């Protein structure tokens, strides 16, 4: 790339980057740029996607970009493509029984996502189905990972949408929370899962990448131990949905406990200047699973 922007400095400054990292400028909607970036590679990790609930900015770019990546990977004859999908393609089904375990065979209800204007989940779902269709047609070895909400230390100096989910409770911008549940996973576990899926030849199909499902009230309780401004709940809690992450555990991935994940997220926000840093007199917090 001709110049380093704030978005890539955190990557180019990492250990070993000068010797082992090459950056290419590519556009998901520009097939030629993807072809040039992928040519000569042994594998492809397709992690890029719009993150928006604007249907025009979400659906078409996600689908066309995915099709372009799979096509370019097929032409380059890469060994495997690991596609980053989302739990949003798995569990968004209003007809799912409360006790049904969410596993890799589950798919979200496309009409439900469309009718509720959840264009992010809708777009990710159409994009994943496009990836599977294109891979079958072009003979590409495709494996899909379906992460939940990703937390943990930030590489970049800015706050992303996932971490904002936590930051709002700590700054007081969120005065209350929805009576709902959310699944969480540590960013390092997601990165390791991608590598495992690429480097493990028998890996196939979809892989749910999640450590725990918590009610938002439980999240607030955990955060309150780190940051006392969090408040207690007053309503009965919705029950978390059940899921299985056994496929990744079978590949020997040991998930980081969600409490550790939340703690490291808070510490990173403090280090990046998004939250006040504790005084030296503050006692260290003990993490217990």
> Which active-site residues does the annotation give?
124
Provide the token pair at 175: 């005065």
Nearest alpha-carbon partner for 205 in 102, 82, 75: 82
Q: In the block, which residue shows the tokens 């918590």?
A: 214
Provide the token pair at 20: 């082992």
Q: What angle do CA 238, 239, 245 make, to 5 degrees?
A: 135
Secondary structure class of 181 (helix, strand, coil): strand
Q: Is 10 exposed, middle or buried (0-12, 13-18, 19+ CB in 10 A)?
A: middle
Q: What angle do CA 220, 222, 223 make, to 5 degrees?
A: 65
Angle between helices 258-271 and 216-226 (to 10 degrees): 50
Please, are residues 144 and 128 in contact by the beta-carbon 8 Å criterion? yes
């Amino acid at each position: 790339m001709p110049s380093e922007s704030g978005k890539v400095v955190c990557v180019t400054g990492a250990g070993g980057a000068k010797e082992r990292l090459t950056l290419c400028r590519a556009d998901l909607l520009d097939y030629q740029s993807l072809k040039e970036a992928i040519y000569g590679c042994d594998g492809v990790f397709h992690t890029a996607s719009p993150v928006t609930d604007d249907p025009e900015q979400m659906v078409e770019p996600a689908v066309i970009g995915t099709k372009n990546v799979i096509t370019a990977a097929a032409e380059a004859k890469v060994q495997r493509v690991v596609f980053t999908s989302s739990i949003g393609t798995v569990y968004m089904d209003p007809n799912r029984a409360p006790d049904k375990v969410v596993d890799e065979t589950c798919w979200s209800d496309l009409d439900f996502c469309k009718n509720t204007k959840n264009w992010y989940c809708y777009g990710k779902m159409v994009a994943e189905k496009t990836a599977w269709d294109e891979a079958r047609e072009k003979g590409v070895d495709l494996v899909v990972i379906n992460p939940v909400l990703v937390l943990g230390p930030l590489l970049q100096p800015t706050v992303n949408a996932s971490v904002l989910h936590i930051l709002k409770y700590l700054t007081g911008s969120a005065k209350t929370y929805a009576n709902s549940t959310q699944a969480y996973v540590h960013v390092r576990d997601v990165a390791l899962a991608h590598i495992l899926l690429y480097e493990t030849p028998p890996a196939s199909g979809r892989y749910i990448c999640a450590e725990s499902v918590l009610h938002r009230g439980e999240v607030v309780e955990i955060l309150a131990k780190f940051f006392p401004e969090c408040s207690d709940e007053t309503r009965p809690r919705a029950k978390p949905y059940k899921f299985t992450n056994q496929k990744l555990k079978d590949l020997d991935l040991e998930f980081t406990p969600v409490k550790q994940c939340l703690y490291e997220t808070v510490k990173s926000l403090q280090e990046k200047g998004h939250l006040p840093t504790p005084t030296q007199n503050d006692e260290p917090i003990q993490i217990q699973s």
